[in-house]
Amino acid sequence: MATWDDVTRIAAELPEVEIRGRHDWQVKGKSFAWERPLRKRDLEELGDTAPEPPILAVWVPDKLAKDAMVKAEPEVFFTTSHFDGYAIVLIRLSEIPVEELEEALVEAWLTRAPKTLAKKFLEAP
């Protein structure tokens, strides 16, 4: 399963990524993935289902993708009411295979990167 080292390695392979702080990955000043500890309200809301850290937050293309991910793999992906209305999903880092993490990070990067940069990335061999 994935670790912070995996997140850093995968994100570093994407164009124009900067790491801000300890666990905040950005493209052109926009975060696309970051550590998201659960807050008191999150813990109350999730109750016994609240996962242990580490938890990674990532942008996804839209709320439909978010809902599909949470429904398909609730042991890996989840959300809290804090993120209602946002195309952001939370990932139980210790439960996601590295290959799936890579897909999630690339998708998050594509979601937040400027269109011209994303197009150049997608067209590269």
Domain boundaries, the chain: 4-116
| Contact between residue 57 and residue 88 where contact means Cβ atoms under 8 Å apart | yes
Q: What does the alpha-carbon distance between residue 83 and residue 63 come to, in Å, rounded to a whole number?
A: 10
**Does residue 88 sit in helix, strand or coil?**
strand
Model's pTM, two decimal places? 0.94
Which of 121, 118, 65, 54 shows the shortest CA–CA distance to 88? 65
pLDDT digits (tens, 9 = 90+) for 74-88: 999 999 999 999 999
Residue 6 host element (H or E): helix 4-12
Q: Could you give the maximum distance between any two Cα atoms of the chain, in Å?
A: 47
| pLDDT band at residue 92 under the 50/70/90 scheme | very high
pLDDT at 22 > cutoff 90: no
Top-level class of domain 4-116:
alpha beta
